[in-house]
Amino acid sequence: MDENNLENDVKEVKPKTFNEYVLAPESQKDDYNVTMFVTRNTNNEITSFETEVIFYYTKVSAGVIEKHIDIYDDTLLEEAVIHEGNEGDYYKIDPKSFTGFDLVESQLPDNAEGYMSVSAVVVKYYYVRKTQLIVKHIDIQTNTEIPNTRITVNNHRNDSYTTTGKTI
C-alpha cells in the first residue's frame, strides 16, 4: 500500500444482522456514512489513518393488524390484514365498505393513524348489519294485505322499534 495515496486501498465492509433489527434506510444507500481520518506529519507522510463506517439500524415492528368486525358477534367481515414495517414507520388504516353493513361511527378507533412501534398495534373498525322492518296490515277475512298500508323501516340489527295496529 502506498502510504501517500490511499485511492486503491479498498476493503469491503458489510453490515451485520441482528435479531429484531434491520438496516435503517440511511444505511441502505451506496454512500452510507463513511469517514476516513488521516494524520500526516510535517513531511506529508501518513502517520496513521482510521476509517469509520457507520451502519444505522432500526427495530422491526410487529406490525399493524387491521380488523373489520361485526359489533354484535365479533366475527371478522374479512380476514385480518397485517401491515409490516419498522419502528417509527407511519401508518394510516381507513374504514371500508361492506355490503349489508354500516360503519359504527360512535366507535371509531383512536389508533387508526400513527407510527409503528416494536409491539403490534391492532386497529379495529366495528360495523353493524343493516336490517329492514316491514309492517303489513292483513285483512283477517281475506288474508290479504290491505292496500297502501305497508310500512318499511330501515334499521340495524338489534335496533328497537314500536308498532301499533292501524285504524282503517
Q: What is the pLDDT of residues 19-61, one digit of tens each?
A: 777 766 655 555 455 556 667 778 877 777 676 777 778 888 9
Those residues whose C-beta lies under 8 Å from the C-beta of residue 159, and which sit 6 or more positions away, are: 131
∠ CA(71), CA(152), CA(72), 5° rounding? 10
Question: Does the pLDDT of residue 96 top 70, yes or no?
Answer: yes
pLDDT at position 143 is: 93
More confident residue, 59 or 1: 59
Q: What is the mean pLDDT of the chain?
A: 82
Give the whole-angstrom CA distance, residue 86 versus residue 24.
9
Which triple of cell numbers denotes residue 123?
386497529
In this prediction, residue 116 carries a pLDDT of 95
Mean pLDDT, rounded, for 62-87: 95
* C-beta of residue 32 within 8 angstroms of C-beta of residue 51: no
Q: Do residues 99 and 129 make contact, with C-beta atoms less than 8 angstroms apart?
A: no
> Distance (Å, rounded) from C-alpha 67 to C-alpha 122?
7
The helix/strand/coil state of 155 is strand
Q: What is the pLDDT of residue 138?
A: 86
Confidence of residue 166 (pLDDT cuts 50, 70, 90): low
Which cell is 154 given? Answer: 330501515
Give residue 1's pLDDT: 42
Residue 76 per-residue DSSP state: B
Please tell me whether the overall predicted TM-score, pTM, comes out greater than 0.85 for this model.
Answer: no
Check pLDDT > 90 for residue 13.
no
Q: Which residues contact 85 (CB under 8 A, 6 or more apart)?
A: 61, 63, 64, 91, 116
* Mean pLDDT of the region 80-85: 95
- SS3 assignment, position 134: strand
Q: Distance (Å, rounded) from C-alpha 86 to C-alpha 98?
A: 30
Q: Residue 124: count other Cβ atoms within 10 Å of its Cβ.
A: 19
